[in-house]
Structure 1
Amino acid sequence: MQKSYINNVEEWKQEFSFYVPIQVRFSETDMFGHLNNTVPFIYFEQARIEFLNHLGLMQTWMRNETKSIPVVADLQCDYVKQVFFEEKLKVFVKVASVGNSSMDLHYLGVNNQDEICFTGRGTVVQINPEIGKSVPWEESQMTQLLI
């Protein structure tokens, strides 16, 4: 399983620590009983929000006086193994790189046997919603991102 954003899958896996537990719901499966191909993006969102909350970034963006918000600029998912109704997954997320106003996040979905079911990556950009332009990270945000 070689993806453009993964050099060595075993080393890449070891870099993750934060995850959210997920149990596949019936409504997330298709007529063949396996996870619909759109659902990992929902899992990525859940993991991303909880991760950014864990880092303390969501609290900054949610304040009324804040002049910036996070926006997903792109998102990619690579499907490795089928997932079925009631399976228990761990969806991991980590910061892969940080730019001036963006960050590249990587995602990893594994089952109870620690088998990779899907991987992904995506860019989140901090923007000013009033003008629609990117906003550089503040020093405190950079500290949180580079932990």
Structure 2
Amino acid sequence: MRAGYIEDLEAWEKGFSFYTEVSVRFSETDMYGHLNNTVPFTYFEYARIEYFKKVMLMNDWLNPKGEKIPVVADLQCDYQKQVFFDEKLHIYVKANSVGSSSVDIHYMAKNTKGDIVFTGRGSIVQIDKKTGKSAKWTEQEKEVFQKSIY
């Protein structure tokens, strides 16, 4: 297993500390009980938002008077093992690199045996609600992301 964004799998895997758990619902599977290939993207969204809540970034973004919001610029998933109905997965999230207004987020999903079942990455860009243009991270926001980069 090797996705282009993973240079050293062991080091990359050790870099994750935050995760959230999901259970594969029946509606997320095909007639053979396999997880539909679009569902990991919703798991990534769920885990990413839980991560942002934990690092206290969602408060500002959800504030109706707030001036900035995060948007997904790109997102990819690399499938490693089959996933089936009713499996429990840990969806790990970490910041991999931070730009002036963007952050590259990495994802790793493991089953209860500890096997990596899929991985992913995606860029999140913070934009100004009024202009629709990218908005720079504050130093405090950058520090939040830097803490999870190894």
- Interval containing the TM-score (normalised by the shorter chain): over 0.9
Deviation for aligned residue 1:32: 1.4
Match of 2:97 in 1: 97
- 1:1-147 matches, cutoff 5 A: 1-147=1-147
Q: Provide the secondary structure at the position in 1 that maps to 2:78.
A: strand
Q: Give unmatched runs, 5+ long, in structure 1.
A: none
Deviation for aligned residue 1:91: 0.4
Q: Provide the secondary structure at the position in 2 that maps to 1:76.
A: strand
Q: Provide the secondary structure at the position in 1 that maps to 2:120.
A: strand
**Distance in 2 of aligned mates of 1:118 and 1:102:** 23
Q: Provide the secondary structure at the position in 2 that maps to 1:27.
A: helix
Deviation for aligned residue 1:131: 1.3
> What is the one-letter code of the residue matched to 1:116?
I
1:90-134 deviation digits (Å, cap 9, x = unpaired): 000000000000000000001011101000000000001221100
**Distance in 2 of aligned mates of 1:61 and 1:39:** 25
Q: CA RMSD in A?
A: 0.8
Deviation for aligned residue 1:64: 2.6
What is the total number of aligned residue pairs between the two structures?
147
TM-score (norm 2): 0.95
Deviation for aligned residue 1:146: 1.6
| % identical aligned pairs | 54
Out of 58-67 and 8-17, give the one that drifted further.
58-67
Q: Give unmatched runs, 5+ long, in structure 2.
A: none
**Distance in 2 of aligned mates of 1:82 and 1:89:** 12
> What is the one-letter code of the residue matched to 1:86?
D
**Distance in 2 of aligned mates of 1:143 and 1:97:** 11
**Distance in 1 of aligned mates of 2:129 and 2:32:** 41
